[in-house]
Amino acid sequence: MSGGGTGNLARLHGRGNFGIKCGLENIRTLLMGLGRPDDGYPVVLIAGTNGKGSTGAFLAHMLQAAGLVVGWTTSPHLTDVRERIWIDGQPIGEGALELLLGEAFEAEARAGIQATYFELMITAALLAFRMTGVEVALLEVGMGGRWDATNATDPLLTVLTTVGLDHQQYLGDTREAIAREKLCTARAGRPLVLGPALDPAWVRSLLPCEAVLRPASRLGPAEVRWDHSGLGGRRVGLPGLHQLDNLATAFEAAHCLRELGFPLPLDRLWEGVVATHWPGRLWQVPGLEAVWMDGAHNPEGARALAEHALACRVRPHLFFGAMGDKDLAGVASELKRMEPLSVTFVWGDAERYATAERLGAAWGLPAQVLDLREAAALLRQPGQGPRLVTGSLYLLGDLLGTLGIRPF
């Protein structure tokens, strides 16, 4: 997963991509020093353990199809840092990002602070949205919510997709503790859209404010295939049974925006659903025969992936690699349910990857691990049946870079 470049992009990459810092002082200082760019447009925050990116993708495409100019920031990226900032359906240009990062670095220097990689990217995104005159900005919360840089904004609407066990070293060891961190993105008196899997009474008991709960209802029966899902005779742009819950969440958010005065004709919203495209989520890799990639990296995500494979009666050859701080045994236990024809371990291009010994112990298999070039060579071979790469979005990005494939 690349992220370097020249000038300000190189300076950004030097800050590193990982970690969390408790406190919103830095991001607030940056935004104040730049004239609060986020005051120029309505903001929607999208939080949750799983489903944030897919829900954001559905909602962004739906709003764009309805005629709105949409800004969207998401993380992490697969092969290019520009993927983190979208304006009206296109990633930000390299020259524009270089310029806006320069403004963020100048504000940082004036204030005498040192911001994180994520804080600088969120600042650049909010500046980009002001510069291009977006009519609504969708901000994907990076981790948790309480101390996430996106939470320095004042959202018109908040979305909470799911709550599961992930990033426990930062957010807590229970679903309740993690939910409390994520629910800090809600605002009193404003809508809080809940994914269909969340119990409104449970959420209410944990809310730090009196937000207006808007539970999303599960969608009806679907025609499910490995490559996409169908609903009521309509194609859903993102495949997978679990994507129907993300779609329901996005629809509820759109209904909230309609009630708040946004012109969103239902038929146009469906055009956006069909057109939704989001690589790395049960995504068929272009140019490679029967190779699919999915960024499932925790037990809940792995369970959704396995359930879809079982529903479609697909047994893939699995290529797996993950970060060392993840619940490897929990992820492996869920993925084993799909009874993969084989499991190949892959090491990516970062020290955070789990060691061969930990991968082998989690899966109960010999700890032989391929490097990126070896794995890419296997994926290029035709006639091998369905192959699924999973375990980390970072692994997907590293392999795409090795294969020379750009996802957008």
328 in a structural domain: yes
- Mean of pLDDT values over 384-393: 94
Q: What is the tens place of the pLDDT at every residue in 230-251? A: 888 888 999 888 899 999 999 9
168 in a structural domain: yes
171 in a structural domain: yes
Using the predicted structure, report yes or no on whether residue 169 has a pLDDT greater than 70. no
Dihedral class, residue 124 (left if φ above 0, else alpha if ψ from -120 to 50, else beta): alpha
- pLDDT at residue 175 in the model: 85
**Domain CATH number, residue 265:** 3.40.1190.10
What CA–CA distances, in Å, run from 394 to 3, 43, 190, 353?
12, 27, 35, 9
Q: Which residue has the higher pLDDT, 115 or 18?
A: 115
Pick from 320, 379, 377: which is nearest to 353 by CA? Answer: 320
Please check whether residues 298 and 261 belong to one and the same domain. no
- Mean of pLDDT values over 43-50: 95
In the sheet with 191-194, reading across from the earlier edge strand, the strands are 90-91, 85-87, 70-73, 136-140, 43-47, 157-160, 191-194, 212-215
Copy the structure tokens of residue 381: 């071979």
- pLDDT at residue 231 in the model: 86
Number of H helices, E strands in the chain: 15, 17
Q: What is the tens place of the pLDDT at every residue in 199-233? A: 999 999 999 999 999 999 999 888 888 888 888 88
Distance CA 47, CA 358 (A): 30
**Domain CATH number, residue 377:** 3.90.190.20
Please name the residue ranges forming H helices in 191-285.
200-206, 242-259, 266-275
Of 275, 292, 324, which closes a domain? 275
Please check whether residues 262 and 314 belong to one and the same domain. no
112 in a structural domain: yes
Pick from 191, 236, 214, 245: which is nearest to 52 by CA? Answer: 245
196 in a structural domain: yes
Distance CA 159, CA 295 (A): 21
348 in a structural domain: yes
Mean pLDDT rounded to a whole number for the chain:
92
Q: What is the tens place of the pLDDT at every residue in 186-200? A: 999 999 999 999 999
408 in a structural domain: no
170 in a structural domain: yes
Of 219, 250, 275, which closes a domain? 275
What CA–CA distances, in Å, run from 17 to 26, 267, 325, 399?
17, 40, 15, 18
| Structural domain boundaries enclosing 55 | 8-275
Of 255, 275, 295, which closes a domain? 275
Q: What is the tens place of the pLDDT at every residue in 58-110? A: 999 999 999 999 999 999 899 999 999 999 999 999 999 999 999 999 999 99
Please check whether residues 268 and 385 belong to one and the same domain. no
- pLDDT at residue 17 in the model: 59
Q: What is the tens place of the pLDDT at every residue in 246-257? A: 999 999 999 999
Q: What is the tens place of the pLDDT at every residue in 325-379? A: 899 999 999 999 999 999 999 998 788 899 999 999 999 998 889 999 999 999 9
What pTM does this model have?
0.92
Q: DSSP states of 166-212 as a string?
A: --HHHH-SSHHHHHHHHGGG--TTSEEEE-TTS-HHHHHHH-SS--E
What CA–CA distances, in Å, run from 82 to 14, 64, 96?
16, 19, 10
- pLDDT at residue 2 in the model: 45
